[in-house]
Structure 1
Amino acid sequence: MANVDETPTSRLELVMGKDAVRRLANSCVVVLGLGGVGSNCAEALARGGVGSLVLVDRDVVEPSNINRQAVAYTSTVGQRKTDVMARIVADINPSASITPIHVFLTRDNIGQILGGLDPRPDFVVDAIDNVTAKLVVARWCQDEGMPLVSSMGGANKLHPELLRFADISQTHGCPLARIIRKECRKRGIRGLRVLYSPEEPVRPQAPDGASGKAATLGTMSYFPPIMGQMIAGDVILSLTGLDGRITTSGGNAR
């Protein structure tokens, strides 16, 4: 029998306290990319009590997404990921403020799209799988003084226990992080916090005739979701001050 005194945040309050839960309810987080990492991160942020979520992605759900993405079901194939994620968040927290944005971020539009948000975001999650876009986001967040955590590669990896947070300059063993690290040095991007794994990727067993991502980027069902959950935890702990790190914004009053 359900306890009538419990609320969706009761168990959160036992761990964090009411003030931290209230702070999360007054916070705005942007999730860029709603694939295996980003969709699971957005779900965890919603369940964690974040009151305002901006969901950015340009893709629709494909059958190959079903093994790992929180937005992917046979019933959602062909639908915009932003629309599906918005429905999931609303079902978890009907009072949440949800802003779905179906777009691909570029250097030309990032200022208009993210800079025009009201309230101003307290945190940005980069779960994009495009190198150029990741660098655009890192540069913009640095220039704006906006806290950012970026996901590195999870494809062709098996062991989530090796995942760790680090400054991009301290990463090793991750092919995507190697490219981002080099480009950050060239572009003067400093202090980029990332989640990465030093695990050497396994060699894909591509079927005959396969090409592109279908031949090179395999994913375990659990790996990207664990990355998304870890990033959500990092954001929640940072916004509430429970990790000891200080963000540049203390949560927007709503």
Structure 2
Amino acid sequence: MVKNLKGRYRSNTLFVKKQDEDEFPIQDYNGLHFLDLTLASPQTQPNFVSYSGTDGSQQRGPILFGARTATANFFLETDDEVSFTAKAHDIWQKFYSRTLMRLRQSISPGICVYTVAKGFDFTHLSYFDKSFSIQFDMPSGYRYSVLRSTDFPLDVKDNNQDGIDIGMNLPMEELKYTHSNGEFKIFNPSDFDIQPYEQHHDLNIIFKGTGSPTLENNDTGDIFSYNKTLISSDSLVLNGVHPMLNGNPCEIDTNHGDIQLVRKSWNHFSLTGFSGTVTFDFPFLYL
């Protein structure tokens, strides 16, 4: 569950979350003051091909997006060198980890980035005051929604209203990501098509019920089908491009298909041969 940030922080606050740890706010912490977090622009990776006897070059295949960086700026107050040494160690513990670390800030609480902190040095402004900037690698190059699709529809009584931000491409219509058999639609507010095969995007499609489900995205023509019969105690999950039955690989019993979701659009689906529910679980992706 996302903590409610709106109205609680008068100054922009950085929120740091390591894997399997609680999120930690940094604004005025033990003499450490967060100033701002800035992101580098998206990094395109074209694939230009030149042909002898022709002008210019041509793009081959889709233009990809590479890794980029984010930079957080801080001001640090200390009492003396002993205090500085202790606080430096505390800062290192906060920002270095063996796993990707999630960052977001209170001015845009619904969007986060997953990062790795790079090395940095302190600048001595005076005997007591220091400043420093930490540059973070963003390996995926994406910004992510803090909420996943399965957090919708939102309950106004819960604290996850902070998961909604300006610029997330969300429609006014209520969003649902669990449906029954028949015809239904799924909205992908991402800036990108969700492509589990081409881009290894995070998408779990979870079937719970009975029968032999066939799921088709009528807008893309993608089809996934399970050829055997599910019973009520089964859980079939299409994890990206890897179908799993009760936690075990079952690709041999499928059509080897995968499902994509078109960006900023309603995707219209049909689910046949099955009685139960299907759930689409994925984060939203942004430039």
Please say whether Structure 1 and Structure 2 have the same fold, judged by a TM-score greater than 0.5. no
Q: Which has the higher strand share?
A: 2
TM-score (norm. length: structure 1): 0.29
The one of the two structures with greater contact order (alpha-carbon pairs below 8 A, sep at least 6) is 1
Structure-2-length-normalised TM-score: 0.27
Task: Find the structure with the greater CA-based Rg.
Answer: 2
More helix per residue: 1
